[in-house]
A and B are shown apart, each in its own frame.
Chain A
């Protein structure tokens, strides 16, 4: 068990900056998800913690130890690879036993621990087989078993679920979360799948282009995105963005775009005046925060252009003058294509167009 502290981590590959001045503290026993699009530096960050890459600048601490100059084997962290990276010439048993054998664990203990772990993961029946003869899900668990068996102080997971089919993935992500809770071991989990991030994490660290965009609990990330990148990246149906600017109309502030005029609360207007003097900002609103009536009254009218039924809900694609909005509605929606709706915007965010930062 240990805390992981990353201070000013910077990693260059040649002239390319993969990670830039990253500061991150992973509390002991937490499951932190590094979330971001491919090439955002999340895997590089994790590999620096693992010891497979050396930081160009910055320090990494595991517990109280500064581990910059330690070999991977001296760090006591386990890594589950995206490809599982099982040893194809060993049986599943030998794969899981390998870290224990390297530590010169007595044979009887190896046997007991490997079988315990296999039982916990439900792969006892595969132990005598080489990984090549196991299904994808089984291989995945063998890789997990190999990481768990040696009881490391930190688990690192590099997109461990991206190679298994969607159904199994839903199941496995709960399984990994449960394991992590049971073992109480600090875990850093890398993924580009925001659903995995939202469902599994104690804390999410959203990264983009090598820099940390926001660190927070899933609900903080979802409800209070720090900037338009985080807002765009998180959420199954992405947030809607309406470019425009803040203007005074009849004494109240409104966000005025080519399509809509949306009143802004006095409180928000005050902060915007301070943080974004130009007033040029984009309004972001989640699909479930747009409400509508079908009576054809009100200022913000738009036409439904497509229905996307998802079974549990329906997404309405609404179009107005080149702007496309996605709005969530119940599954049994009364709305039909080509209907005209009056929209009202409940909770929304404003993002400074110059910096992308949220105004709040």
Chain B
């Protein structure tokens, strides 16, 4: 875009401070050549390449023949694709592990949010002193701060005393507990971004406190809430160390443990492990794509005010 044109846009902008920017003008601005933007895009593509290549590698390894798997230099495209590994993995009832993981990760996420949303609401809206909130949430989060291996052993001892080892609900409880502090802290920030005024306006308009939260606050923070839910789900879906202690049988075995179980003492079949890995990555990918849509929405969804 030429200088004159840029100046014309600037003039138009100052003249229209009271009006809303027109779509046409925004399009013009977007088309402007921008070296910085180009660099950003290049870096992003490199980063995407960096993360996507391992996923691609796992996926193609699951359909490679043994010869291709062992080939040096490594082959980027399988020459002789086959589904043996996938047959094996389904024969080993991987779908039951997927089911276990889904149940545990979903329920732990939902329960965590059911606890964390009211807690975060109280922490931001009830005029509690910051120190008090920080200490309470800090204590809640203390277990999660330890390296998982350090907390897993005492938790396991506790669990075995209570006789609740090898139960799905035990995993659900543990994941919920470990994530709640994190969820409260993030939600607290989210709630603080919604001006108190908007909620008070609802009270003045005749709503109850609960109604104001349900009809005004929650819809406003929904994109953030959804993003947090997906993050929690991914944490739970990928959790390995605690599950390692608390899973004893197929009844409770979650995917990360199942993948580990595909690695026998002798004769490692990379194809089978890769197939299991592909299955494990799939929901995370779906979640990430949904998350991305909501993250963008969350950023552009400003709370209107004259300030």
Contacts and interface: CB of A to CB of B under 8 A. Distances in A.
Interface of A: 50-52, 71-73, 77-79, 81-89, 98-99, 102-103, 130-137, 139-140, 146, 150, 163-165
Interface in B168-227: 195, 197-198, 200-208, 211, 216, 219-220
Contacts of A79: 200-201, 204
Given A83-B306, A89-B219, A139-B306, A150 B206 contact: yes
A122 B303 CA distance: 24
B128 to A, nearest CB: 13
A85 B200 contact: yes
B306 A88 contact: no
A139 B18 contact: no
Contacts of B20: 133-135
B197 A81 contact: yes
A166 B198 CA distance: 25
Given A89-B219, A103-B206, A164-B306, 8 more contacts: A81-B201, A83-B306, A88-B198, A89-B301, A98-B205, A99-B205, A102-B211, A163-B305
B302 interface: yes
B221 to A, nearest CB: 10
A322 to B, nearest CB: 41
20 contacts: A50-B204, A51-B203, A73-B204, A83-B197, A85-B201, A86-B198, A86-B305, A87-B201, A88-B198, A88-B303, A98-B205, A102-B206, A131-B304, A133-B20, A134-B20, A137-B18, A139-B304, A140-B306, A163-B307, A164-B306
Contacts of A71: 203, 208
A2 B302 CA distance: 38
A72 B307 CA distance: 25
A146 B306 contact: no
Contacts of A98: 202, 205
B19 interface: yes
Interface of B: 18-20, 195, 197-198, 200-208, 211, 216, 219-220, 301-307
B305 A85 contact: yes
B297 to A, nearest CB: 11
Nearest to A133: B20
Given A135-B20, A139-B306, A140-B306, A85 B197 contact: yes
A143 to B, nearest CB: 8
Contacts of A137: 18
Q: What secondary structure prevails in chain A residues at the interface with B?
A: loop
Nearest to B306: A163
A95 B201 CA distance: 10
Contacts of A140: 306
Nearest to B204: A79
Given A73-B208, A137-B18, A84 B219 contact: no
Contacts of B306: 82-84, 136, 139-140, 163-164
A146 B200 contact: no
A133 B301 CA distance: 12
Contact of A88 (B19, B203, B211, B304): B304
Contact of A52 (B19, B198, B203): B203
A219 to B, nearest CB: 32
Contact of A136 (B18, B197, B211, B220): B18
Given A73-B208, A163-B307, A83 B195 contact: yes
B304 A86 contact: yes
A78 B204 contact: yes
A142 B306 CA distance: 12
A146 B304 CA distance: 15
A102 B205 contact: yes
A140 B307 CA distance: 12
A77 B205 CA distance: 8
A130 B301 CA distance: 11
A51 B206 CA distance: 11
Contacts of B18: 135-137, 165
